[in-house]
Structure 1
Amino acid sequence: MSTPLWAADTMRQVITPSDDSIVLESLPSGPRISAPTTTTNTSSLASQLERVQSLLTIARQQGDPRYLGYADAQLRVLLAKHPADLGTQLLQARLLQANHHFDAAERVLNTLLASPSAVHSEAALMSASIALVQGRYAHATKRCHQLTGLAMLPFSLICQAQVQGATGQASEALARLNALPAKQLGLTSDQRTWWRLSQADMADRLGSDNSAEDDYREAAAAGSAEAVAAYADWLFWQGHARDSLSLLAPWTAHDGLLSLLTRAEQQLGLSKSATAHKQQALGRWQAFLARGEPGHERELATFYLDVMQQPATALRLAQRNWTVQRETADYRIYIRAALAQSAKKDLAILAKWQASTKFEDVRVQRWLSAGNAALPSSNK
C-alpha cells in the first residue's frame, strides 16, 4: 500500500558547510508556488490545514523536497497554536511518514486511534500503510479491519487485498482488486493511482505482464513521481529501456528518477548524456548522504548498483533500507545487491523472510535460479 507517506520526531540537525564547494541540496528549477512559512491570524484553521495538505501533495507528486520543508515550517506553527486539534495531528503523522520517521508517525496515529474521532478511519488507513511498507502484515490486517462504514469499504477491501497479495495469496488478491467497480467507487485521482499501483505490483510479481503494463500505464498517466518510477522500472526490466527513457526524460529534477534515467541511457549506449546525468545524480546523492537524513536508501542502492556499479556500497544501503522498508522494490534491490556480492548471509535472511511471509515474486525466482544479480546489462 502506497498512500502518501508524510515534522520529524526530532529537530533536523543544522548543517553549516565548511566550504563554499559543499552542496547541501540540488533543487529543481522552474516556477514554484508561494510558500510563506507563517500563517495569518485571519486564516481559519481549516484553510491553513488545507494549505499544508496541498504542500504535502505537491511534495509527493513532484518529489520536490522544498515542499516538505514548507509544510514542516507551517505545521510547526499550527501545532504550537492547536496541539490538541485532530486534523493538525493527522497532518503531523503524514509529514512524519513522508520523512520516513515511521515509529514517530505510529505514536501520533496510536493517540488518534485510542478513542473514536472524526479522523479515526484516516489514521487507521495510514497506520495500515506504514505496516505494509514495513512488512508487519498482522498489524496491517488489524488496521484494515478498523476501516468501518460504507465510505471506507473500498479502502478496507483494497487494504485487505494488499495484505493477501504480500502473504502468498497474490492471485486471489489480484482477482479481488480487478473485480472492484472502478467508476462506482468515487476515488480521487491519487486514490485511483494507489489502487492501480497495487494491482500492477501483484500482476508484475505473478508474471502477468499484460495486466501489469495496463495498470502501470494508467497509474503513470496521473503524473505522480511514484507511479512514473514504478512504470519506468518495469519497462526497463522488460527490455524496453528506450520507452523507460522517454517516460523519465521530463523528470531530471527528481533524484530517484534521474538515477533511473541515467541507467536507461547507459543501457542504450548514450554515453554523453549518461555521463552528464551520472555526475549530476552523484552530486545530489553525495549531498544527501552528507546531510545524514533518513530515507531514499532504496534509490541510493539502485544508483550505486546499476549506475555506479559498486555492489558493496549498494549492499550496505540495501541492508539499511531493509530494516525500515520491505516492499517489492526493497526486496528486489536487496536480492540483486546480495547476489552481486555473493552475500550468502543476506540471501539466507531474505530466503527466511520469503518463507515466513510466502511473498511471491517470479522475477526474483528467475534471478535466484540464474545465480547472479541480473544487472541492467543482462536485462533478465
Structure 2
Amino acid sequence: MIYIALAGRLWADAGNVDGPSIYQPSTNDEIIFRISSSAIVSSGATVITPEQHLKAAKQALVLFRETANPRFLGDAERELAAIPNHKQSAPFYFYRASLRQSLHLFDEALADLNKISAMKADNLESRMMRFTISFVSGNYQAAEQACSSLKQYENSLYAASCVQQLQAVSGDADAAYQALKQAMAAVGVLADRQALIWASGTLADIAERAGRDDALALWQLALQLNRGDLYTRARLASLLLNQGDYQQVMSLTEDYLAVDALAVSRAIAQQYLGGNEALVRILRERFDEARWRGEILHKRAYAQFLLEIEQQPQLALLMAEKNWEHQREWPDAVILSHAKDAANAVQVR
C-alpha cells in the first residue's frame, strides 16, 4: 500500500517536524513580495460599529482577490468575528461565505448562504456564489438548482453561462460552446459588463474543455476584460505552459509570485528556459511552511509542483486526489490525469 507511506511523508505530524527555515534573499535587490500602497486595512482599534466592521471585511476580501495575500483573509476574519450574533445580517453571512470560499471551506460557505436564503435575502451575488461553489465541488445537482434561480434576472447571460457550463461538464462541450457563443452574440453591446466578464470566462473554460483552438484567444479576451482577475490569469498561464509558450508565461506571471498557481507555472517555464533555482527554493519553502501549519489551500498548484518540479509522481497523485475530493474543475481533472499517468509509468518500470 504505497499511499500509506506517502501519506506519512506528506502529512507529517507537526509535533515531530521542525518549522520551515526562514528564507533570506541572496541580494538586497531580490523582490519577495510586491504590494500596493493602498493595501491597508483598518485596524480593530478604529472600527466600532458592525457596519464599519463589514466595510473593513469587504475591503480585506477585495485586497485578497487582488493580491492573493492570505494576510487579508485573516483581516477579514477578524473584522467579521467582532460583529455580535444579534447584528449578523445578510451582508455579514455573504462576506463570511466569501471568506470561507476563499479558504476552500465550501460546506461552511454554503451554510452561510443557506442562512441568507432563510432570511429571504438572496440576491444575484449570493446565487452566483452558490452556483460556483456547487459547480467547483462537483455537486452538479445543487449547481443546476442554483443556476435555475439565476433565470429570474433580466440579464440572461448569467443563466446562459451556468446552463452551458453544466452541459459542457456532462459531456457535450462543443454544443455548449456554440450555445453560449450565440447567447453572447445575441446580447451584444447591451450586455452588462460583469455578466460579459462572467460569460467570457465560462466560454474560455468550455473551449479549453472541448480542446478548441480558440481557447487561448478566449482566455486572453477574458483577461483583457478583467485584468485584475488572478484566476483568469492563472488559467491563461497554464494553457500557455501546456502549449510550450514559455516566454509568454514569464511575461504573464511577472510580479505575481505571491499567487501559488502563477508562481508554479513560472517555475516550470523557467525550468525549460533555465535558471529557476531561486523560485523553486521559494516555492519549496512556501509549501513546506503550509504543510507544517497543516493548511495547504492550493492543492492543485502543489500537485503540479510535486509532479513537474520535484519529479515525485506518487506524491503528486496523492495531492491531486486530495484536491479532487473538494474541487473538480477542468484543471483539477487535468492534473489528476497527468499525475495518474506519471505514477503508473513509475510502477511499470
RMSD (Å) for aligned C-alpha atoms: 2.8
Residue identity over aligned pairs, in percent, reads: 27
Shift of the 59–319 alpha-carbon distance from structure 1 to 2, 3 Å rule, reads same
Alignment of 1:131-170 (within 5 A): 131-151=134-154, 153-170=156-173
Q: Report SS of the residue matched to 1:35.
A: coil
Letter in 2 for 1:35: V
> By how many angstroms is 1:44 displaced?
7.2
Match of 1:265 in 2: 270
Q: Report SS of the residue matched to 1:304.
A: helix
Give CA-to-partner distance per residue, 1:45-103, whole Å, 9 cap, x none: 2x6434422321221232111211111111111355612x1111111111111100011
Match of 1:278 in 2: 280
Letter in 2 for 1:331: A
Match of 2:109 in 1: 105
Cα distance in 2 for residues equivalent to 1:89 and 1:54: 15
Which among 276, 291, 294 is matched to residue 292 of structure 1? 294
Cα distance in 2 for residues equivalent to 1:254 and 1:287: 15
The answer to whether 1:238 aligns with 2:230 is no
The answer to whether 1:335 aligns with 2:340 is no
Match of 1:58 in 2: 63
Match of 2:43 in 1: 37
Give CA-to-partner distance per residue, 1:194-251, whole Å, 9 cap, x none: 32221111111222212x1222112223132211111111111112122112211221
Give CA-to-partner distance per residue, 1:144-201, whole Å, 9 cap, x none: 112253346332221112111111221222122212235322133xx54432221111
The answer to whether 1:325 aligns with 2:327 is yes
Cα distance in 2 for residues equivalent to 1:313 and 1:267: 22
Richer in helix (by share): 2
Match of 2:233 in 1: 228
Cα distance in 2 for residues equivalent to 1:124 and 1:303: 34
> By how many angstroms is 1:39 displaced?
6.8
CA contact (8 A) 1:112 1:120 kept: no
Shift of the 246–322 alpha-carbon distance from structure 1 to 2, 3 Å rule, reads same
Alignment of 1:116-131 (within 5 A): 116-117=120-121, 119-131=122-134
Shift of the 157–79 alpha-carbon distance from structure 1 to 2, 3 Å rule, reads farther
Cα distance in 1 for residues equivalent to 2:255 and 2:243: 21
Letter in 1 for 2:94: L
Question: What TM-score results when the alignment is normalised by the length of structure 2?
Answer: 0.83
Q: Report SS of the residue matched to 1:293.
A: coil
Shift of the 160–282 alpha-carbon distance from structure 1 to 2, 3 Å rule, reads same
Count of aligned positions: 321
Letter in 2 for 1:98: S
Question: What TM-score results when the alignment is normalised by the length of structure 1?
Answer: 0.77
